[in-house]
């Protein structure tokens, strides 16, 4: 068939429709995640372009809803470099779903926007779309959310990246909460324990520094450089853990009671512990002494050492081994729940009366030394 004028200009709507159907069929697999609870998806008719919605007609007084937005950032370039696209959805969903629980909410619905350069005029890039769809389903299951909608936009030269199929992926997450479950910061008390949840990679932040360090040492093809039994690219691509389902179980969701008393949650992303825990503590005018943190993943330590990055800078750029922090007066209960769930956790320290955060470093520069950051 002769390409039409739009296809000749770089946008083949027939191929785009195939890609959209792939993502829609994947999203349908996630509807079951919310069956029988708030966020159950209603579809008057089955079509990727059809209406998808939820019923809110019976929500009681004191019900709250919000929506958060985020992206995979430049980590998508790592996926493009190594040609592996079935885990990047974990990074996207971790950013939007795990942000919901730091407010005391329960994430229920996710919609995404996939900006690509072009799908071309044949099916050669559809295998990449199918890989993205695999991660789509797995990440939604891990977060216990339904994917209500997704958009694919062919943006031409406005999208740049690595290789023949660069893309950028963003999302919105709808979350709901009961008024009495919302975190305000005032719940946090001096003497509360800080329980940390382990993160095995860079998560989804600090990749501009990662790429800068590795490219300076190994050149433009740094992702192919062997490191142990793997490569720098594959290790950098380690998917982010998604903590929201576990935390909702601890704190309680919109329709469920929790198992532990939680006073606050910090999601350790851009800015690291000083910024993200600092935000949570600011309203309470309290601080924290963190003397028993997880050590950073080996790939983070390697990058820090290779780049000569000071510990203070490393803790402000990367998670350094902790993806989430839970502030609780019941740390033993939280640890027991984490063990049963299969989540690696430990007590890092406690909340203090001074408005600063003291970190006992696990970095490569000054291991064991204390660093103090203002709240």
Rounded to 10 degrees, the C-alpha dihedral 55/56/58/59 comes to 150
Encode pLDDT of 192-208 as tens digits: 999 999 999 999 999 99
Encode pLDDT of 209-241 as tens digits: 999 999 999 999 999 999 999 999 999 999 999
- CA atoms of 279 and 185, how far apart (whole Å): 9
Q: In this predicted structure, which of 49-63, 85-99, 177-191, 199-213 has the lowest mean pLDDT?
A: 49-63
Long-range contacts of 303-306 (CB under 8 A, 24+ apart): 303/209, 303/210, 303/213, 303/214, 304/363, 304/364, 304/365, 305/364, 306/213, 306/214, 306/217
- CA atoms of 301 and 248, how far apart (whole Å): 31
- Give the CA count within 13 Å in the CB-facing half-sphere of 128: 22
Give the per-residue SS3 of 135-163.
HHHHHHHHHCCEEEEEEEEECHHHCCCCC
Q: What would the mean pLDDT of 29-34 be, rounded to a whole number?
A: 94
Number of Cβ within 10 Å of residue 357's Cβ equals 25
Angle, helices 126-143/13-28, rounded to nearest 10 degrees: 20
Strand bridging mode 146-154 / 106-116? parallel
pLDDT surpasses 70 at 92: yes
Encode pLDDT of 130-141 as tens digits: 999 999 999 999
- CA atoms of 362 and 305, how far apart (whole Å): 12
Of 128, 131, 159, 106, the closest CA to residue 26 belongs to 131
Q: What is the reported pLDDT for 138?
A: 98
- CA atoms of 339 and 342, how far apart (whole Å): 5
- CA atoms of 61 and 63, how far apart (whole Å): 6
H helix intervals, 159-309: 207-218, 232-236, 244-251, 272-282, 298-307
CB 222 within 8 A of CB 214: yes
Sorted by where each starts, the structural domains of the chain and their CATH numbers stand as 5-181 (3.30.1330.10), 193-374 (3.90.650.10)
Report the percentage of the chain scoring pLDDT > 70.
95
Q: What is the reported pLDDT for 6?
A: 47
Q: What is the reported pLDDT for 121?
A: 87
Q: Kindly report the pTM of this predicted structure.
A: 0.93
Rounded to 10 degrees, the C-alpha dihedral 211/212/214/216 comes to 150
Number of Cβ within 10 Å of residue 166's Cβ equals 17
Q: Which residues, at least 6 apart from 332, have a Cβ–Cβ distance to it below 8 Å?
A: none
């Amino acid at each position: 068939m002769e390409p039409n004028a739009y296809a000749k200009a770089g946008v083949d709507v027939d191929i785009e429709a195939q890609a959209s159907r792939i993502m829609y069929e994947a999203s349908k697999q996630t509807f079951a995640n919310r069956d029988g609870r708030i966020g159950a998806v209603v579809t008057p008719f089955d079509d990727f372009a059809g209406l998808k919605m939820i019923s809110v007609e019976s929500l009681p007084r004191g019900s709250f809803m919000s929506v958060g937005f985020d992206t995979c950032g430049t980590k998508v370039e790592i996926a493009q470099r190594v040609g592996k696209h079935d885990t990047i959805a974990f990074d996207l969903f971790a950013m939007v779903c795990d942000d919901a629980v730091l407010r005391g909410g329960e994430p229920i619905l996710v919609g995404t926007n996939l900006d690509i350069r072009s799908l071309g005029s044949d099916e050669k890039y559809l295998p990449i779309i199918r890989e993205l769809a695999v991660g789509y389903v797995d990440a939604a299951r891990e977060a216990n959310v339904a994917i209500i909608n997704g958009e694919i936009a062919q943006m031409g030269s406005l999208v740049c990246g690595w290789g023949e199929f660069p893309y950028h992926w963003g999302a919105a997450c709808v979350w709901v909460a009961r008024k009495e479950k919302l975190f305000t910061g005032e719940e946090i008390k001096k003497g509360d324990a800080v329980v940390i949840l382990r993160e095995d990679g860079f998560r989804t932040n600090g990749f501009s520094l990662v790429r800068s360090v590795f490219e300076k040492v190994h050149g433009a093809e740094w992702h192919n450089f062997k490191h142990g039994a793997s490569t720098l690219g594959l290790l950098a691509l380690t998917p982010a853990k998604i903590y929201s389902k576990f935390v909702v179980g601890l704190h309680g969701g919109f329709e469920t009671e929790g198992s532990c008393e939680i006073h606050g949650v910090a999601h350790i992303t851009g800015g690291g512990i000083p910024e993200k825990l600092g935000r949570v503590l600011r309203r309470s005018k309290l601080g924290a002494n963190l003397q028993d943190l997880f050590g950073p993943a080996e790939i983070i330590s390697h990058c820090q050492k290779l780049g000569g990055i000071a510990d203070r800078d490393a803790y402000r750029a990367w998670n350094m081994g902790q993806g989430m922090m839970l502030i609780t007066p019941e740390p033993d209960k939280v640890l027991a729940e984490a063990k049963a769930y299969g989540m690696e956790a430990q007590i890092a320290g406690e909340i203090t009366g001074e408005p600063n955060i003291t970190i006992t470093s696990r970095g490569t520069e000054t291991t064991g030394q204390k660093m103090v950051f203002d709240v």
